[in-house]
Amino acid sequence: MIPARKVALFGGSFDPIHCGHLEIARQAVEALDLDEVRFIPCRVSPHKLDHPPAPADVRLEMLKVALANLPWATIDDSELHQPPPSYSCKTAARIHHQEPDSRLFWLVGTDQWESLPRWREPEKLCELLEFIVFSRGAPPEPRDGWRMHPIHGDQPASSSAIRDGARIGKIPTEWLPQGVEELIIKHQLYQS
């Protein structure tokens, strides 16, 4: 019997994608022997309705550049073509329907893990997949009935700090994958 493919879904604004995102994904691949990490840029996050992201086509371009040399990384741009906001439960249900034999995971940070019960239809997510929870500090608290795999790291990169730096002309380049800074400058992103 062929073992199920292990696929982690990694949703987010990726505004911009940074080395922290890549490190979290790499650690998940190693810790759980994943076949694939699927980056899913959202059109508009329901948790960030007051902060419109950079244009979707530019965020997608940054993802393509950042992931170009990672054989386990793919992009699913389906949420970019849906009416906003983007809901993880709809995406997970669609992927589960398309790939019923895959073992699905959702990759989140501890802040998202703690807020998951307030997401749209969290019980559906709980049925469809397992969670990989990345923490920088204390390990995440288990939750009855939820399948969770903790991973730990200390990657300090932050999309909001990168955007703030770009506003004042001081992009923290050490936090950006090769080629992403050039796209931020080319498209004049995050300037006041």
pLDDT score of 23: 95
pLDDT score of 137: 87
- pLDDT band for position 6 (50/70/90)? very high
pLDDT score of 182: 95
The pTM of the full predicted model, rounded to 2 decimals, is 0.93
Angstrom distances, CA of residue 174 to CA of 52, 89, 154: 25, 34, 15
Sheet of 130-135: strand order equals 73-75, 36-41, 6-12, 103-109, 130-135, 148-152
42-85: per-residue pLDDT in tens? Answer: 987 665 555 678 999 999 999 999 999 999 999 999 999 988 88
Give the whole-angstrom CA distance, residue 109 versus residue 69. Answer: 24
pLDDT score of 50: 59
Bridge-based pairing state of the strands 6-12 and 36-41:
parallel
**Percent of the chain scoring above 70 in pLDDT:** 96
pLDDT at 38 over 70: yes
Cα 124 from chain centroid (whole Å): 19
The average pLDDT across 18-29 equals 96
Please report the domains of the chain, with CATH numbers, ordered by start residue. Answer: 6-186 (3.40.50.620)
pLDDT, mean over the chain: 92
Give the whole-angstrom CA distance, residue 143 versus residue 45. Answer: 24
91-101: per-residue pLDDT in tens? Answer: 999 999 999 99
119-175: per-residue pLDDT in tens? Answer: 999 999 999 999 999 998 889 999 999 999 999 988 889 999 999 999 998 999 999
pLDDT score of 86: 81
Cα 26 from chain centroid (whole Å): 12
